[in-house]
């Protein structure tokens, strides 16, 4: 079983791949946000539609690449768990349903595309269209943030030791399902200023002051609003 475990250099490759995927994904979102909207404003709807479809196609490809990495990391994590990593057993609780969903071949690519095109006609060129948001954006953001956690260097097998820092880290950990719920509820934007850039999951009442990891105590804030809030508390 040890042979199946990712070696450090293989882990490095995965991290590089995740970085690349995230860059392509964010670039595609930015094209939709800026270039596509520009074209619409200039009355070039057909060009906007073509560019939009191209960007969605890129996002869809990144989605499937990240799904692959995600499954690999998920397996790796299962193997690690055999060695008794406390942090791993905590973080893994919400992962299985997501992996199951991604394994479910319910929709063909053709169905997805025709649905997207129908959605574009109905909703106008808007990346917040419900289907895209649900199918890609939500899962991509989730996978990227989870993968960032899974590739952390301290996710190596640990002995079951009483480590206070470790315990504290576990206390701060927001379960995946709570993150997904909060992301949906707050519509993927900062609840203070509405931006979609640099979002963070914020504990409304800090963990150190007894705040919990339930959806009622978690909100989406952008980096800037979060820093301002931090400043106000101190
Ligand atoms: Zn903000």
- DSSP letter for each residue of 105-156: --S-HHHHHHHHHHHHHHH-S-TT-HHHIIIIIHHHHHHHHHHHHHT-TT-S
- The residues, any chain, with a CB within 8 Å of residue 163's CB and separated by 6 or more, are none
Helix (H) or strand (E) holding 203: strand 199-203
Taking the centre of ligand 1 as the mean of its atom positions, its distance from the CA of residue 38, in whole angstroms, is: 24
Contact indicator for 170, 90 with CB cutoff of 8 Å? yes
Q: Which of 201, 213, 207, 211 is CA-nearest to residue 168?
A: 207
Taking the centre of ligand 1 as the mean of its atom positions, its distance from the CA of residue 189, in whole angstroms, is: 8
Taking the centre of ligand 1 as the mean of its atom positions, its distance from the CA of residue 82, in whole angstroms, is: 41
Q: What is the pLDDT of residue 4?
A: 65
Tens-binned pLDDT, residue by residue, of the chain (234 aa): 445 667 777 778 888 888 898 899 889 888 888 898 888 888 888 888 888 888 888 888 888 888 888 777 777 666 655 544 444 444 444 444 444 444 556 665 565 555 555 544 544 444 445 555 555 667 777 777 777 766 665 444 344 445 555 555 555 677 777 787 788 888 888 999 998 888 888 888 887 777 788 888 899 999 899 888 876 654
Give the count of beta carbons closer than 10 Å to the beta carbon of residue 226.
19
Rg (CA), the chain: 20
Could you say which DSSP state residue 6 is in?
P
Q: What is the pLDDT of residue 182?
A: 85
Counting beta carbons within 10 angstroms of the beta carbon of residue 170, is it exposed (0 to 12), middle (13 to 18) or buried (19 or more)? Answer: middle
Taking the centre of ligand 1 as the mean of its atom positions, its distance from the CA of residue 198, in whole angstroms, is: 9
Taking the centre of ligand 1 as the mean of its atom positions, its distance from the CA of residue 22, in whole angstroms, is: 21
Q: Which of 167, 224, 226, 177 is CA-nearest to residue 201?
A: 226
Taking the centre of ligand 1 as the mean of its atom positions, its distance from the CA of residue 195, in whole angstroms, is: 6
Taking the centre of ligand 1 as the mean of its atom positions, its distance from the CA of residue 150, in whole angstroms, is: 27
| pTM of the predicted structure, to 2 decimals | 0.44
Taking the centre of ligand 1 as the mean of its atom positions, its distance from the CA of residue 60, in whole angstroms, is: 28
Contact indicator for 43, 117 with CB cutoff of 8 Å? no
Taking the centre of ligand 1 as the mean of its atom positions, its distance from the CA of residue 201, in whole angstroms, is: 12
The helix/strand/coil state of 212 is: coil
Hey, where are the domains in the chain? 2-169, 174-234
Helix (H) or strand (E) holding 202: strand 199-203
Question: Measuring CA to CA, how many Å separate 58 from each of 24, 32, 102, 109?
Answer: 8, 11, 18, 13
Q: What is the pLDDT of residue 190?
A: 92
Please give the CATH number for the structural domain made up of 174-234: 1.10.30.50
- The residues, any chain, with a CB within 8 Å of residue 29's CB and separated by 6 or more, are 55, 59, 127, 137
Taking the centre of ligand 1 as the mean of its atom positions, its distance from the CA of residue 72, in whole angstroms, is: 34
pLDDT, tens digit, 9 for 90 and up, residues 113-151: 555 555 445 444 444 455 555 556 677 777 777 777 666
Contact indicator for 95, 177 with CB cutoff of 8 Å? no
């Amino acid at each position: 079983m040890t042979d199946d475990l990712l070696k450090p250099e293989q882990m490095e490759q995965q991290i590089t791949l995740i970085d690349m995927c995230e860059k392509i994904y964010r670039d595609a979102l930015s094209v939709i946000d800026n270039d596509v909207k520009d074209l619409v404003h200039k009355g070039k709807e057909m060009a906007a539609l073509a560019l939009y479809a191209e960007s969605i196609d890129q996002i869809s490809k990144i989605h499937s690449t990240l799904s692959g990495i995600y499954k690999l990391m998920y397996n790796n994590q299962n193997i690690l768990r055999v060695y008794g990593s406390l942090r791993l057993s905590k973080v893994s609780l919400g992962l299985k349903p997501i992996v199951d969903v991604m394994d479910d071949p319910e929709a063909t690519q053709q169905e997805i595309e025709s649905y997207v095109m129908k959605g574009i006609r109905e909703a106008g060129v808007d990346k917040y269209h419900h289907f895209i948001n649900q199918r890609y954006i939500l899962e991509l953001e989730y996978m990227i943030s989870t993968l960032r956690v899974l590739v952390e260097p301290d996710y190596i097998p640990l002995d079951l030791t009483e480590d206070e820092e470790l315990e504290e880290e576990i206390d701060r950990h927001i379960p995946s399902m709570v993150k997904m719920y909060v992301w949906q509820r707050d519509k993927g934007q900062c609840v203070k200023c509405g931006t979609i850039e640099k979002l963070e999951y914020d504990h409304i009442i800090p963990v150190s002051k007894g705040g919990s990891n339930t959806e009622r105590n978690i909100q989406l804030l952008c980096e800037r609003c979060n820093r301002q809030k931090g400043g106000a508390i101190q």
